[in-house]
Chains A and B, each alone.
Chain A
Amino acid sequence: MLGFRAAILLPLLLLAACGNEQNDPYPARERGQNILYSAFTERPKHLDPARSYAEDESVFTAQIYEPPLQYHYLKRPYVLVPGAAAEVPEPAYFDAAGTPLPADAPQGTIAHSVYEIRIRPGIRYQPHPAFAVDGEGRPVYTDLEPSKLAGIETLGDFARTGTRELTADDYIYQIKRLAHPRLHSPIYGTMAAHIVGLKELGETLQREIGKLPDGAWIDLDRYPLEGVERVDRHTYRIKLIGKYPQFRYWLAMPFFAPVPREADRFYSQPGMAEKNLTLDWYPVGTGPFMLVENNPNSRMVLARNPNFHGETYPCEGEEGDRAAGLLADCGKPLPLIDKAVFTREKESVPYWNKFLQGYYDASGISSDSFDQAVRFDVGGGVQISEEMQAKGIRLLTRVRASTFYMGFNFLDPVVGGRDGVSEARARKLRQALSIAIDQEEFISIFLNGRGIAAMNPLPPGIFGHAEGEAGINPVVYDWKDGKAERKPIAVAKKLLAEAGWPNGRDARTGEPLVLNLDTTSGGMGDKSTLDWLTRQFAKLDIQLVVRSTDFNRFQEKIRKGAVQIYFFGWNADYPDPENFFFLLAGPEGKVASGGENSSNYVNPEYDRLFVEMKDMDNTPQRAEIINRMNRILQEDAPWVFGFHSKSYTLAHAWLHNRKPNDVANNILKYQRIDVAERARLRHEWNAPVVWPLVLIGAVLASVAVPAVLAYRRRERGTARNWR
Chain B
Amino acid sequence: MLAYIARRLLYAIPILIGVNLITFALFFIVNTPDDMARMQLGVKRVTPEAIEKWKTERGYDKPLFVNGKASGAAMLTDTIFFTKSARMFVGDFGRAEDGRDITREIALRMGPSLAIALPTFVLGLFVTVSFALLLAFFRATYLDFWGVVLCVAMMSISGLFYIIGGQYLISKLWRLVPISGYAAGLDAWKFLILPVAIGVISGIGSSTRWYRTIFLEEIGKDYVRTARAKGLSEITVLFRHVLRNALIPILTGVVVVIPLLFMGSLLTESFFGIPGLGSYTIDAINAQDFAVVRAMVFIGSVLYILGLILTDISYTVVDPRIRFDR
Contacts and interface: CB of A to CB of B under 8 A. Distances in A.
Interface stretch (B7-15, B19-27, B184-192): B184-192
A43 interface: yes
A42 to B, nearest CB: 9
B20 to A, nearest CB: 22
Interface in B46-104: 46-50, 53-54, 57, 98-101, 104
A555 B43 contact: yes
14 contacts: A7-B127, A23-B177, A25-B181, A181-B53, A184-B53, A273-B101, A298-B275, A346-B279, A350-B171, A350-B179, A350-B180, A594-B47, A594-B48, A723-B219
Nearest to A357: B175
Given A22-B177, A25-B191, A189 B141 contact: no
Nearest to B101: A274
B123 interface: yes
Contact of A27 (B172, B180, B187, B273): B187
A1 B98 contact: no
B99 A278 contact: yes
Contact of B104 (A275, A347, A555): A275
Contacts of A281: 100
A264 interface: no
A54 B57 CA distance: 23
B50 A189 contact: yes
A719 B179 contact: no
Contacts of A693: 174, 176
Given A354-B180, A692-B169, 16 more contacts: A7-B123, A14-B189, A21-B175, A23-B178, A43-B283, A45-B98, A54-B42, A184-B50, A186-B41, A274-B101, A350-B167, A552-B31, A552-B38, A707-B143, A711-B137, A722-B234
B141 to A, nearest CB: 6
Interface string B247-284: 00000000000000000000000111101000110010
Nearest to A723: B140
Given A182-B57, A555-B43, A347 B180 contact: yes
Contact of B176 (A22, A181, A347, A710): A22
A230 B314 CA distance: 73
Interface stretch (A77-85, A540-548, A682-690): A682-690
B233 interface: yes
Contacts of A722: 228, 234
The 6 closest A-B pairs by CB, nearest first: A297-B275, A350-B180, A25-B178, A689-B174, A552-B35, A298-B275
B310 interface: no
A686 B173 CA distance: 10
B288 interface: yes
Given A188-B50, A722-B228, A347 B271 contact: yes
B181 A298 contact: yes
Interface residues of A, number: 71
Interface string A689-723: 11011000000000000110011001100010011
Interface string B149-183: 00000000000000010010101111111111111
A354 B99 contact: no
B104 A344 contact: no
A523 interface: no
Interface of B: 31, 35, 38-39, 41-50, 53-54, 57, 98-101, 104, 108-109, 123, 126-127, 130-131, 134, 137-141, 143, 164, 167, 169, 171-183, 187, 189-191, 193, 197, 200, 219-220, 228-229, 233-234, 270-273, 275, 279-280, 283, 288
Nearest to B129: A3
A714 B234 contact: yes
Given A45-B98, A722-B228, A353 B48 contact: no
Contact of A710 (B53, B127, B138, B191): B138
A11 B193 CA distance: 8
Consensus secondary structure, chain B interface:
helix
Given A2-B130, A298-B182, A689 B172 contact: no
Contacts of B288: 552
Given A186-B44, A552-B31, A4 B99 contact: no
Contact of A353 (B139, B172, B193): B172
Given A274-B104, A278-B99, A689 B176 contact: yes
A346 B179 CA distance: 12
Contacts of A182: 57
A297 B106 CA distance: 12
Nearest to B43: A555
Interface string A1-35: 11110010001001100000111110100000000
Interface in A371-403: none
Contacts of A186: 41-42, 44-46
A194 to B, nearest CB: 13
A273 B123 CA distance: 40
B181 A343 contact: yes
A687 B175 contact: yes
Interface string A223-241: 0000000000000000000
A345 interface: yes
Contacts of B31: 552
A686 B180 contact: no
Contacts of A53: 42, 44
Contacts of A555: 38, 43
B45 A190 contact: yes
A354 B179 contact: yes
Contacts of A573: 44
A11 B176 CA distance: 9
A722 B109 CA distance: 51
A661 to B, nearest CB: 20
A46 interface: yes
A3 B130 contact: yes
